[in-house]
Amino acid sequence: MARIHEHAATSHFDDDMIRDWLRLARTPHVGPITFYRLLQKFGTARAALDALPDLAQTSGKHKKITPAPLADIDHELNALRKIGGQILCADDVRYPAPLRAVEDAPPIITVLGNIELLKRRCVGIVGARNASMNGRNFARKLAADLSATGIGVVSGLARGIDTAAHEGSLSGGTIAVVAGGIDIVYPPENQKLYDSIRAEGLIVAESPLAQEPFAQSFPRRNRVISGLSQGVVVVEASLRSGSLITARVAAEQGRDVFAVPGHPMDPRAEGTNSLIRDGAVMVRSAQDILDDLRTLQPDEFHTAAGVIPGGLFDRATGFVHDTKTSNPDDDVFADLDDDILDMMLDLGVRPVPTNPADLCEAILDHLSTTAVDVDDLIRTLGQPTAAVQSALLTLELSGRVQRLPGNRVVRLAA
């Protein structure tokens, strides 16, 4: 699917525009893809906010969609200013171009620290939380060597490999993408490291200020790590490691994927060895990464999906568009065809060529927790596109299905 937020960034974002963007982004059931679709349709975040009640009315569910309270938005903005943080909107010229190129790029990120680091070419380093001493030492040296060449090192402030990567690149400028709010330190034992990164590097968050991380925060954070990076290095990972989600997402985003080999008998090497078997670049030193980094322009990052053959992610991890990688509140109206969305937005015009309840049940019968292409679903059902899209919208609003980037859909567990 074409990226619908693909247009020129602007340097003019006044306080009112930031407030509107933040309010729309914080509105329940409005995820990144939905956000950009609404912005494309209505032109501004303010106009989209004004249209939400009518949009909910035409959904067929009559479920009220209420924008985030202004008081909450103002509180978040004021609290962010007090700690010295900033908000970057996706159309802000300061928003990192590689991340903007991602289909489901966060409409809003909060940053704390040296924002100039976002202008660097970056490499993500991720891996096992229960990393070995050798793994941590290697990650620390790898990060230090990359940082010495002017490469920014991005990681997730987690235990193990993430911590080592930040430690190694701290003096050269490291970027920590956190799963919770930008003011929340997780894990707590990394408070000192967090303070050092805040002083010398940059902290980035998609979640609201003061929000504690929850299970689905981490895969969402992973796509930001890879989105900020030109390539992602995995240092130690089991076959079920969340680091392989980052590698898979990096490949889908057109980034380079690197992996550090390990002993065949070490479970922490199974994931990285499998990545190498399936096409990732083997890393023995920072030079292997520097030699292989492609000079992709920002608008090319999304075109090279499939760097890693799909076999690994099907066979070893089951992470091909696993429902755990997205927020169930995201994307109520995601990926609707433009003409279908236009029709639904015209009050009084509703696609009802078949019994909606029966069609909803038929859709659920065809779906599972493995993502399927919506176009394939429509062909299988043999129903009009407008009817299926409308039924999917009803199912989204009721929390029974979830739309994913790439015009795909999954059934959510009851």
Q: What span, in angstroms and rounded, lies between the C-alpha atoms of 28 and 257?
A: 34
Sorting pLDDT into bands at 50, 70 and 90, what band is 44?
Answer: very high
Q: What span, in angstroms and rounded, lies between the C-alpha atoms of 199 and 197?
A: 5
Q: What span, in angstroms and rounded, lies between the C-alpha atoms of 360 and 233?
A: 42
Q: Quick one: pLDDT at residue 337?
A: 37
Tens digit of each residue's pLDDT (9 = 90 or more) over 214-270: 888 888 999 999 999 999 999 999 998 889 989 999 999 999 999 999 989 889 999
Long-range contacts formed by 60-66: CB under 8 A, 24+ apart: 60/350, 60/356, 60/390, 60/391, 60/393, 60/394, 61/393, 61/394, 61/397, 61/398, 63/397, 63/398, 65/27, 65/28, 65/29, 65/30, 65/332, 66/27, 66/28
Sheet strands side by side (includes 202-205): 86-89, 108-113, 202-205, 174-178, 152-155, 122-127, 231-235, 256-260, 281-282
The structure's pTM equals 0.75
Q: What span, in angstroms and rounded, lies between the C-alpha atoms of 80 and 84?
A: 6
Sorting pLDDT into bands at 50, 70 and 90, what band is 304?
Answer: very low
E strand or H helix that includes residue 399: none
**Amino acid present at 126:** V
Tens digit of each residue's pLDDT (9 = 90 or more) over 8-28: 566 567 899 999 999 999 998
Sorting pLDDT into bands at 50, 70 and 90, what band is 57?
Answer: low
Domain covering 335-411 in this structure, CATH number: 1.10.10.10
Class of domain 98-324: alpha beta
The Cα-based distances of 157 to 164, 249, 275 in angstroms read 9, 19, 23
Judge contact between 329 and 31, C-beta under 8 A. yes
Q: What span, in angstroms and rounded, lies between the C-alpha atoms of 30 and 280?
A: 35
Domain range annotation of the chain: 15-94, 98-324, 335-411
Q: Quick one: pLDDT at residue 333?
A: 44
pLDDT at 190 over 50: yes
Q: What span, in angstroms and rounded, lies between the C-alpha atoms of 35 and 332?
A: 10
Tens digit of each residue's pLDDT (9 = 90 or more) over 68-114: 999 999 999 999 999 999 999 999 999 999 999 998 999 999 999 99
